[in-house]
Amino acid sequence: MVLKRIIGADPSALKRIEAIVHPLVFADRAAFRKKAASEILVFDIPLLYEAGGAAEMDAVACVLVSPEVQEERVMARGTMTREQFLSIRDKQMPASEKAAKADYVIVTDTLEHARRQVADVLADIRRKMADA
């Protein structure tokens, strides 16, 4: 809540906060990679493109749903106002642009549909790893 108030009062504060947080997150991700025993790692990075992190990924999957459903899901959490949600969303790259840049797109309209798409993505990645 405190950060929301600071950023709301001073929009330039977000850039200063990101300049501190992003290098720490990058270091944490690098440490995780070194320790990981799995062949396939998944990172949940909402600001991947905005923060310039796509270059360090072997592949990118963009998870999306319609803007209306996205808003409905966020509002159902009860953690922010609609104005806060719209303010955050408006600062991000549009989902359609992220999807166009991604190697894979997973539409989360239903849980079953999302599961099938994730299975397809994993199968494709495993196939590509076997062919490498």
pLDDT at 98 over 80: yes
Average pLDDT, the chain: 91
pLDDT at residue 11 above 80? Answer: no
DSSP H or E run through 104: strand 104-107
9 or 4, greater pLDDT: 9
Q: Which residue, among 109, 105, 29, 117, has the nearest Cα to 73 in the 3D structure?
A: 109
Task: Determine how β-strand 104-107 pairs with β-strand 61-64.
Answer: parallel
pLDDT in tens, 49-80: 988 889 999 999 999 999 999 999 999 999 98
Structure tokens at 91: 């600062």
Distances (CA, A) of 111 to 9, 115, 116: 38, 6, 9
pTM score over 0.85: no
Query: Sorting pLDDT into bands at 50, 70 and 90, what band is 3?
Result: confident
How many helices (H) and strands (E) would you count in the chain?
6, 2
